[in-house]
């Protein structure tokens, strides 16, 4: 096995800082001949769930009735130096909405997928700073935290159908672990989890 192939295997089996994400070509949705819609695929990256309409899990529960409808968050990441403002991490769901069985995550209980998109900067005023590793040198450097807003889209897990969407401002300074940053990139303020829970509550309880 060549050195390049060994490195690729290490990145897949045990992701390390600096490992590039695998190319999505192998899991790209195939259009169905009759409908032109993406074929349901059980294991797909977040980008396909949130952009391409590929269902998270066709065997998931149908979204109807009062709920609670259990959910998972699909956070969209980017390693591109073209993105000026990076995410400090998506907000977490309350434990009561997390789909588990015998204390283990159970994707067959997921009704809703909440897509958390990259931040949109809303100002240049520095609200804090982080010490993060440089993408090229891997050495720590100071990165500014700036005001930002975040868009969220709520999808039905079994069909990929859009249920709704909402936007929240970041309000907390938070330094993510293991994030590599390129020159001139900054970090957006993180969304308050209580505000995230309040916006998502009507979807979880079937009121939207």
3-state secondary structure of 200: helix
The whole-number average pLDDT for the span 103-124 is 93
On the question of pLDDT at 158 being above 60, the answer is: yes
> pTM of the prediction?
0.75
Range 101-107 contact pairs with CB under 8 angstroms and sequence separation of 24 or more: 107/56, 107/57, 107/60, 107/72
CA-nearest of 168, 52, 43, 46 to 114 is: 46
The two beta strands, 71-75 and 128-134, are: unpaired
State mean pLDDT over 120-135: 93
| Confidence band, pLDDT 50/70/90 cuts, at residue 78 | low
Q: What is the pLDDT of residue 149?
A: 96
Identify the pLDDT of residue 183: 85
Q: What is the pLDDT of residue 101?
A: 85
Would the pLDDT of 168 be above 70?
yes
Query: In terms of pLDDT, which residue wins out, 44 or 131?
Result: 131
Segment 159-167 long-range contacts (CB within 8 Å, at least 24 positions apart): 159/55, 159/58, 160/38, 160/49, 160/53, 160/54, 160/55, 160/56, 161/63, 163/63, 163/112, 163/203, 163/208, 164/203, 164/208, 166/199, 166/200
| Residue 20: pLDDT over 50 | no
Q: What is the pLDDT of residue 80?
A: 59
Instruction: Please give the residue that has the higher pLDDT: either 131 or 46.
Output: 131
pLDDT band at 175 (very low <50, low <70, confident <90, very high): very high
Q: Above 50 in pLDDT, residue 13?
A: no
Q: Which has the higher per-residue pLDDT, 5 or 196? A: 196
Burial of 119 (0-12, 13-18, 19+ CB in 10 A): buried
Residue pLDDT, tens place only, 21-65: 333 333 333 233 334 444 444 444 788 999 988 999 999 999 999
CA atoms within 13 A on the CB side of 102: 0
Per-residue pLDDT band at 118 (split at 50, 70, 90): very high
Closest CA to 57 of 157, 163, 154: 157
Of residues 12 and 92, more confidence is placed in 92
Backbone angles phi, psi at 56, to 5 degrees: -65, -45
């Amino acid at each position: 096995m060549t050195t390049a192939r060994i490195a690729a295997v290490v990145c897949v089996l045990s992701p390390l800082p600096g490992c590039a994400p695998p190319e999505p070509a192998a899991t790209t949705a195939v259009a169905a001949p009759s409908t032109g819609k993406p074929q349901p695929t059980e294991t797909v990256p977040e980008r396909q769930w949130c952009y391409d309409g590929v269902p998270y899990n066709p065997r998931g529960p149908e979204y109807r009735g009062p709920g609670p409808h259990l959910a998972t968050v699909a956070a969209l990441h980017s390693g591109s130096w073209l993105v000026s403002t990076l995410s400090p991490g998506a907000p977490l769901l309350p434990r009561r909405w997390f789909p588990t069985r015998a204390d283990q995550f159970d994707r067959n209980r997921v009704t809703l997928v909440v897509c958390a998109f990259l931040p949109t900067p809303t100002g240049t005023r520095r609200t804090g700073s982080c010490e993060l590793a440089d993408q090229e040198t891997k050495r720590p450097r100071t990165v500014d935290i700036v005001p930002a807003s975040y868009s969220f889209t709520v999808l039905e897990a079994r069909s990929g159908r859009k249920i709704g969407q909402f936007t929240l401002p970041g309000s907390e300074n938070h330094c993510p672990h293991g994030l590599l940053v390129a020159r001139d990139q900054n970090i957006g303020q993180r969304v308050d989890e209580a505000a995230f829970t309040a916006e998502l509550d009507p979807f979880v309880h079937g009121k939207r």
